[in-house]
A and B are shown apart, each in its own frame.
Chain A
Amino acid sequence: MALIEAKSICKSFGDLAVLKNVSLSVGQGEVVCIIGPSGAGKSTFLRTLNHLESITSGQIVIDGQLLDDRADGVNRSPLSKKEESAILLEMGMVFQRFNIFPHKTVLENVMLAPLHVRKMSKEDARARAEDLIGRVGLTDKLGVYPSKLSGGQQQRVAIARALAMEPKIMLFDEPTSALDPELVGEVLAVIKKLASVGMTMLIVTHEIGFARDVADKVVFMYDGTILEEGAPQDIFSNPQNERTRTFLQAVL
């Protein structure tokens, strides 16, 4: 069964239609990479899934639950506010600009949500945070404030912070675009490790080599629509759409 099922998503900012009938399905354990030019609506699509933006119309089904069922902006989802919040917790998000909490140490950044949202005990939250920080290779930075970290390290903390809520799905919005080239590798390595343990992921990225490696499916977005989707080797080696071809020529 698909973990994410987006059906005919439309999203407008005022008169500007940014998503036009976007449908996408992501199965359990699947890694889907979204590529496409600037302004295509990639970030907006990701953000509608976890309700950082509301959709104008369409349906979003997460883990079999109808999270959104909208027409003209009115949500007819049968879920209560509480059920809705619970489903949103199944999605973790990593941002292009990290958005790490600067007034909290690395450990506090990762502990915060389990403490206040999951109401975990301090000891349990701490143990989980230390474990996750170890897994992203930052055990020596536990008590350090983010300003003392490189961009790559901050992004790895952000990944650990999202994972601390034990989401079933991870959304990545250009996780390496704000990084110096020499720091991209360490972040991609962490994401690859997640892929290898079966995490379901939806990744907006311009790293074609990485997408070729890790993606089960690649989606090409253009002007608010999905123009082409398929296995990475098909999309990258034999794109069917003229616009996909032009885009790939520009980024490769």
Chain B
Amino acid sequence: MNNLERMAGWIPPLIDASKITLSLSVISVVLGMVAGTFIALGRISANKAVSRACSVYIFIFRGTPLLMQLFFVWYALPLAIPELTIQNRFLAACIAFTINSAAYQAEIIRAAIQSIDSGQMEAAKSLGLTYAQAMRHIIIPQSIKRLIPPVGNEFIMVLKDTSLVSTIALVDLMKRTSQIQSSASTALVYLPSAALYLIFTAVFTYLFSWLEKRHSVYE
């Protein structure tokens, strides 16, 4: 077998393991966005306690390594509180990545919301809209377009960071790559594996720029 044929043979198992990589990325970024929106709203809320709590959350989960957060969910949490033992490695990874991404996205969303001209909120208030209505109908819809590029960026960071799950023996693209490397005794497998990562980032980069264009209709 020549090298090309060998590499072609590795592609199906690599793609198979990519399902973990991709689903973990999509789930964490989507759930992280939902949670991040609430944390961002809490952060800018007039309620001091809520705002402080959200700041602390962001500080902790942006300020510690993601790998440590992953180990915490998988190894440390069950030791501290046995009831919170998570049997499923994939679920544990989703929790750790969502918690982490929520902190990053909260800051992205907060910045986007605060970049909207304050006159928009004033106009909404002067028309009798409540704060929640103004957020929902006026401020958040306008911030979405400004959100798309940094969230796209965040997505690509998460996609690459999912390689950390190989440390809890979850077989993602990275883990499968190193398994093949040791069984086939060659580093050649890094070529198709890197190519897959690049294809994924390229596809999602394209997707996010398409989304951004679609959201520019009113400009």
Contact = CB atoms under 8 A, between A and B. Distances in A.
B166 interface: no
B127 A117 contact: yes
Interface residues of A, number: 28
Interface string A79-94: 0000001001101110
Contacts of B125: 51-52
B218 A147 contact: yes
Contact of B126 (A85, A93, A97, A103): A93
Interface in B122-180: 122-123, 125-129, 133, 137-138, 141-142
A158 B127 CA distance: 11
B83 interface: no
A101 B127 CA distance: 12
A158 B117 CA distance: 16
A116 B137 contact: yes
B65 interface: no
A92 B137 CA distance: 19
A50 B126 CA distance: 7
Interface in A6-61: 50-52
Nearest to B119: A99
Contacts of A88: 128
Contacts of B217: 145
B81 to A, nearest CB: 42
Contacts of B127: 92, 112-113, 117, 161-162, 165
Label chain B's interface by main secondary structure.
Answer: helix
A152 B217 CA distance: 22
Given A101-B138, A103-B141, A147-B218, A116 B120 contact: no
B219 interface: yes
Nearest to B145: A103
Nearest to A113: B127
Counting contact residues on chain B (CB < 8 A from A), the size range is 10 to 19
A33 B61 CA distance: 54
Which of A85, A116, A146 counts the most chain B CB atoms within 10 A?
A: A116
A165 B119 CA distance: 19
Interface in A74-125: 85, 88-89, 91-93, 95, 97, 99-104, 112-113, 116-117
B219 A95 contact: no
Given A102-B142, A103-B141, A113-B127, A147 B120 contact: no
Contacts of B219: 102, 145, 147
A179 B128 CA distance: 26
Given A99-B117, A116-B133, A116-B137, A145 B218 contact: yes
Contacts of A103: 141-142, 218
A102 B122 contact: no
Given A89-B128, A113-B127, A101 B122 contact: no
Contacts of A161: 123, 127
Interface of B: 117, 119-120, 122-123, 125-129, 133, 137-138, 141-142, 217-219
Interface of A: 50-52, 85, 88-89, 91-93, 95, 97, 99-104, 112-113, 116-117, 145-147, 158, 161-162, 165
13 contacts: A85-B128, A92-B127, A95-B119, A95-B123, A97-B119, A99-B119, A101-B120, A102-B218, A103-B142, A116-B129, A117-B129, A145-B218, A165-B127
Q: What are the nearest 5 A-B pairs in CB distance?
A: A99-B123, A113-B127, A99-B119, A93-B126, A117-B128
